[in-house]
Amino acid sequence: YERFATALSAFLTDEFGSKINLKAEVNKTGESGAFEVTVGGKLIHSKLTMGHGKCQSDEELDNIIDNINKIIA
Protein backbone atom coordinates (compact mmCIF):
# COMPACT_ATOMS: atom_id res chain seq x y z
CA TYR A 1 0.00 0.00 0.00
CA GLU A 2 2.74 2.45 0.93
CA ARG A 3 4.24 2.53 -2.56
CA PHE A 4 0.86 3.31 -4.11
CA ALA A 5 0.19 6.15 -1.67
CA THR A 6 3.69 7.56 -2.18
CA ALA A 7 3.45 7.43 -5.98
CA LEU A 8 -0.04 8.95 -6.06
CA SER A 9 0.94 11.69 -3.61
CA ALA A 10 3.98 12.62 -5.70
CA PHE A 11 2.01 12.65 -8.96
CA LEU A 12 -0.89 14.72 -7.61
CA THR A 13 1.44 17.18 -5.88
CA ASP A 14 3.40 17.67 -9.11
CA GLU A 15 0.19 18.20 -11.08
CA PHE A 16 -1.85 20.34 -8.69
CA GLY A 17 0.47 21.64 -5.95
CA SER A 18 -1.21 23.56 -3.16
CA LYS A 19 -4.65 23.36 -4.80
CA ILE A 20 -5.19 19.98 -3.15
CA ASN A 21 -4.67 18.47 0.29
CA LEU A 22 -3.40 14.92 0.68
CA LYS A 23 -3.48 12.67 3.70
CA ALA A 24 -1.83 9.28 3.78
CA GLU A 25 -1.67 6.95 6.75
CA VAL A 26 0.06 3.59 6.50
CA ASN A 27 0.06 0.91 9.18
CA LYS A 28 3.36 -0.33 10.57
CA THR A 29 3.65 -3.20 8.09
CA GLY A 30 3.04 -0.93 5.10
CA GLU A 31 0.40 -3.35 3.82
CA SER A 32 -2.68 -1.28 4.55
CA GLY A 33 -3.68 2.26 5.28
CA ALA A 34 -5.88 5.16 4.32
CA PHE A 35 -5.33 7.68 1.54
CA GLU A 36 -7.51 10.74 1.11
CA VAL A 37 -7.59 13.56 -1.41
CA THR A 38 -9.42 16.78 -0.53
CA VAL A 39 -9.96 19.73 -2.87
CA GLY A 40 -11.55 22.96 -1.72
CA GLY A 41 -12.67 21.30 1.48
CA LYS A 42 -14.44 18.51 -0.45
CA LEU A 43 -13.28 14.93 0.02
CA ILE A 44 -13.05 13.37 -3.45
CA HIS A 45 -11.11 10.17 -2.78
CA SER A 46 -10.93 8.08 0.37
CA LYS A 47 -9.98 4.46 0.75
CA LEU A 48 -11.19 4.52 4.32
CA THR A 49 -14.54 6.32 4.25
CA MET A 50 -15.62 6.11 0.60
CA GLY A 51 -14.43 2.60 -0.23
CA HIS A 52 -12.12 3.71 -3.02
CA GLY A 53 -9.15 1.55 -3.86
CA LYS A 54 -5.50 2.39 -3.72
CA CYS A 55 -5.60 3.84 -7.23
CA GLN A 56 -3.95 1.08 -9.20
CA SER A 57 -5.78 1.62 -12.48
CA ASP A 58 -5.84 4.40 -15.05
CA GLU A 59 -9.61 4.61 -14.51
CA GLU A 60 -9.20 5.33 -10.78
CA LEU A 61 -6.53 7.95 -11.47
CA ASP A 62 -8.58 9.57 -14.23
CA ASN A 63 -11.55 9.78 -11.87
CA ILE A 64 -9.46 11.59 -9.24
CA ILE A 65 -8.00 13.99 -11.83
CA ASP A 66 -11.44 14.69 -13.34
CA ASN A 67 -12.89 15.47 -9.92
CA ILE A 68 -9.98 17.77 -9.05
CA ASN A 69 -10.31 19.62 -12.35
CA LYS A 70 -14.08 20.09 -11.89
CA ILE A 71 -13.53 21.73 -8.53
CA ILE A 72 -10.55 23.95 -9.36
CA ALA A 73 -11.81 25.05 -12.79
Q: What is the pTM of this model?
A: 0.78
- Once rounded to an integer, what is the mean pLDDT over residues 1-17? 85
Q: In whole angstroms, what is the distance from residue 47 CA to residue 34 CA?
A: 5
- Once rounded to an integer, what is the mean pLDDT over residues 32-47? 82
Q: Which residues in the chain belong to E strands, given as ranges?
A: 20-26, 33-39, 42-46
Greater model confidence, 26 or 21: 21
